[in-house]
Amino acid sequence: MKFLDQAKIYVRSGDGGDGVTAFRREKYIEFGGPDGGNGGRGGDIIFEAVPNLNTLIDFRYTQHFRARKGGNGAGSDRTGAAAQAVVIKVPVGTQIMDDDRETLLADLDEAGKRITLCRGGDGGFGNANYKSSTNRAPRRSDKGWPGEERWIWLRLKLIADVGLVGMPNAGKSTFLSVVSAARPKIADYPFTTLHPQLGVVRLSMTEEFVIADIPGLIEGAHEGTGLGTRFLGHVERCAVLLHLIDGAAGNVVDAWRTIRHELTEYGGGLADKPEIIALNKNDAMTPQEASARRRALEKASGAKVVLISAATHQGVPELLRTIQDQVTAIRQEERDSLA
C-alpha cells in the first residue's frame, strides 16, 4: 500500500429539511387546523480514528464528502426523517487542519476518538409550530437551516515510542530490519527510505515499543533541501529519539551537529526530547578508530554514546534494553501527569 500522510478534502454537512404548511380537513372532525410538521435534521460529518489504518491513501481518490439533507415535514404533524451522519475513518494520529494549514481543528490521537467537524442543519418549523390562541391558522413555515462546509487538510503523525533519526546511509533501515519484523528497502546509496517505516520491537511478553524510521536528513533540510522536514512530524509524538550515526564515515561530530541543528530549526519540541546516541557500523572501524570517534562524540554532545553494529547485532540487545527502560519511565510520567 502506498504511504500518504497529507491530503486535502472538502466536507459538507446536510441541510435541514423544510417545514410545511398544511391544514387538517377531515369529514368527521369538528375543528380543522394547522398540522404541518417540522423538517428533519441534516446529516453530520464525523471523523473517527481507527487502529487498522496507517495511511491516508484513500483520500487521494475521494476528496469530497457530503451528508444528505434532512427529510421535509408533512401533514398530520409528521416530522421529516433525520439524515444519517457521514463517518469518515482515519488512522490514529491524524490531525485535522484548517485550509490555512496552520489552525488545528482536531487531533485524533487515540483509537475510537471521534469529532463532529460539521453539524447538520436544523430542520425548519412547520406551520403547526406557530399555532397560538391569537393565530389559529398560521400559514408560515420555514426552510431548513443550511449545513456547514469547509476545505480541510488531514495530516498523519504516526504514533511511535521511538523516533529513528540520522543522516542518509547511517544504517537506520538496517537497524529497523534487525530489531523488528519490518522490511524496509536497504541499499548502498542515500535516500533509500522515501517514506516513514514503523516496526514493533518486542523484548518480552510484557515489554514492547514502536519505532519509527524516517527518511535521512541532510544540511538545510529545514529549508527544503533533500526530502526536507516533511516527515519529522512523524516523530513529534515519540518519547525518545534514537540518533544513529555512521561511525565509518569519520566525521561523526559534524554529522551529529547537523542533525541537531535541523531538529532545532524544525521546532515542534524535537530538540528537547531525550536523545540516545548510537555510533553504528562498529564492524567497519578499527578498535582505535571506534574509541577515538566515540570519545569525540561524547565530548561534543555531553552524553553517553553507545557503540553498535546493526549488521552484526553487536551492542544491539543492550541498546534496546536502554531504550525500553527510558520509554517505560517517560510514558509512566505522562500517565501520572494526567492522573
The reply, when asked if residue 173 is annotated as ligand binding, is yes
The reply, when asked if residue 310 is annotated as ligand binding, is yes
The reply, when asked if residue 214 is annotated as ligand binding, is yes
The reply, when asked if residue 157 is annotated as ligand binding, is no
The reply, when asked if residue 9 is annotated as ligand binding, is no
CA 35, chain centre distance (Å): 49
The reply, when asked if residue 191 is annotated as ligand binding, is yes
The reply, when asked if residue 192 is annotated as ligand binding, is yes
CA 120, chain centre distance (Å): 25
The reply, when asked if residue 168 is annotated as ligand binding, is yes
The reply, when asked if residue 274 is annotated as ligand binding, is no
Which grid cell sits at 103? 489552525
The reply, when asked if residue 4 is annotated as ligand binding, is no
The reply, when asked if residue 281 is annotated as ligand binding, is yes
Q: How many CB atoms lie within 10 A of CB 124?
A: 24
Distance, in Å, from the CA atom of 183 to the CA atom of 176, rounded to the nearest integer, reads 8
The reply, when asked if residue 193 is annotated as ligand binding, is yes
The reply, when asked if residue 169 is annotated as ligand binding, is yes
The reply, when asked if residue 172 is annotated as ligand binding, is yes
**3-state SS record for the chain:** CCCCCEEEEEEECCCCCCCCCCEECCCCCCCCEECCCCCCCCCCEEEEEECCCCCCCHHHHCCEEECCCCCCCECCCECCCCCCCEEEEEECCEEEEECCCCCEEEEECCCCCEEEEECCCCCCCCHHHHCCCCCCCCCCCCCCCCCCEEEEEEEECCCCCEEEECCCCCCHHHHHHHHCCCCCCCCCCCCCCCCCEEEEEECCCCCEEEEEECCCCCCCHHHCCCCCCHHHHHHCCCCEEEEEEEHHHCCHHHHHHHHHHHHHHHCCCHHHCCEEEEEECHHHCCHHHHHHHHHHHHHHHCCCEEECECCCCECHHHHHHHHHHHHHHHHHHHHHHHC
The reply, when asked if residue 73 is annotated as ligand binding, is no
The reply, when asked if residue 44 is annotated as ligand binding, is no
- Collect all residues with Cβ–Cβ distance below 8 Å to 80 and sequence separation of at least 6: 17, 18, 37, 38, 39, 40, 70, 71, 72, 73, 74, 123
The reply, when asked if residue 311 is annotated as ligand binding, is yes
The reply, when asked if residue 213 is annotated as ligand binding, is yes
Binding residues for Mg(2+): 173, 193
Binding residues for GTP: 166-173, 191-195, 213-216, 280-283, 309-311
Binding residues: 166-173, 191-195, 213-216, 280-283, 309-311
